[in-house]
Amino acid sequence: MSCTEKSNKYWSYDNPSEWSKHFPSANGLCQSPININTIDTIPKFYSPFIFSSKYNSDELFILSNNDQQIITTLAKCTNEQNTNELWFTGSDLNGRFYFVNFHMHWGRNDKHGSEHEINGHRFPAEAHFVHKNYDNGQIVVLAFLFTIDNNEHSEWEKYANVASQLIKTHDRTTCIFNLNRLMQVKDREFFRYIGSLTTPPCTEGVIWTIFSHEIPIKEESLNLLRQNIMQKAYRPVQPLNDRTIFRNYEYSKMI
């Protein structure tokens, strides 16, 4: 998960075990991603997510190659909350959380690529939608897992086609996306825990929500990213260290 810090120097996805040499937080006790053992999760009722109306609108975004990831930001966003109409409240989170960026993680092949695992299972890709409360600095990430399926969602097919054209560092382009169609949050089951950024500086205190439903994507779309951007873009799972993971559904519905 990438926020707005510029920390590309001194790290790459080829040497995640060495990140802590320059970014001490990477050795912290509350790092992300993690493996989620569903049998060890705790059920908890959460209030509904409430998204602003702009999540249902077609909005213009900027896609940028920052040498590590393709980062997608709102074209008119200047990091001032009064210019950003993409926000959500609810889900037992305090305050209003504004959209910062979204990006995807993937691996060399379909056997791995997601950052989070569920019951030790790796998914071929994972998308992160980063949000921030500008009043207190709290970062919340909504994470989504992918499965290989020819019935690919058209919005993600568009994303892969556009993002894969940004071959060189600092390449940029624009594209129209609908965040609601990308995320498909309504009435979905999820897990929640406290972790960190998954890219340097690996700052802790991030609230993670990982949705358990899988989003379909074609292997061809992931291959476009692997072949044109980089072969892999994910951090391995980190120790849980006695942290509690909550789920928003009952045990009888356990995966």
The pTM is what? 0.93
What pLDDT score does 54 carry? Answer: 94
Domain containing 200 equals 23-253
What pLDDT score does 255 carry? Answer: 45
The answer to whether position 165 is within a domain reads yes
What pLDDT score does 1 carry? Answer: 58
The answer to whether position 10 is within a domain reads no
Contact partners, residue 8, CB within 8 Å, separation at least 6: 66, 67, 68
Contact partners, residue 88, CB within 8 Å, separation at least 6: 49, 50, 51, 52, 55, 96, 97, 131
What pLDDT score does 152 carry? Answer: 86
User: Residue 63 and residue 161: Cα distance in Å, rounded?
Assistant: 12
The answer to whether position 2 is within a domain reads no
What pLDDT score does 4 carry? Answer: 42
Nearest one of 130, 78, 75 to 104, comparing CA atoms: 130
pLDDT averaged over 10-residue windows placed end to end, the chain, 255 residues: 54 94 96 97 96 95 94 76 80 97 96 96 97 97 96 92 96 97 90 98 98 95 95 96 94 50
What pLDDT score does 173 carry? Answer: 98
What pLDDT score does 9 carry? Answer: 67
The answer to whether position 152 is within a domain reads yes
The answer to whether position 130 is within a domain reads yes
H or E stretch including 196? strand 190-196
User: Residue 131 and residue 141: Cα distance in Å, rounded?
Assistant: 6
Nearest one of 233, 150, 217 to 182, comparing CA atoms: 217
| Structure tokens given for 36 | 């989620």
The answer to whether position 12 is within a domain reads no
CATH at residue 144: 3.10.200.10
The answer to whether the beta carbons of residues 70 and 229 sit under 8 Å apart is yes
What pLDDT score does 187 carry? Answer: 79
Q: How many domains does the chain have?
A: 1
What pLDDT score does 5 carry? Answer: 45
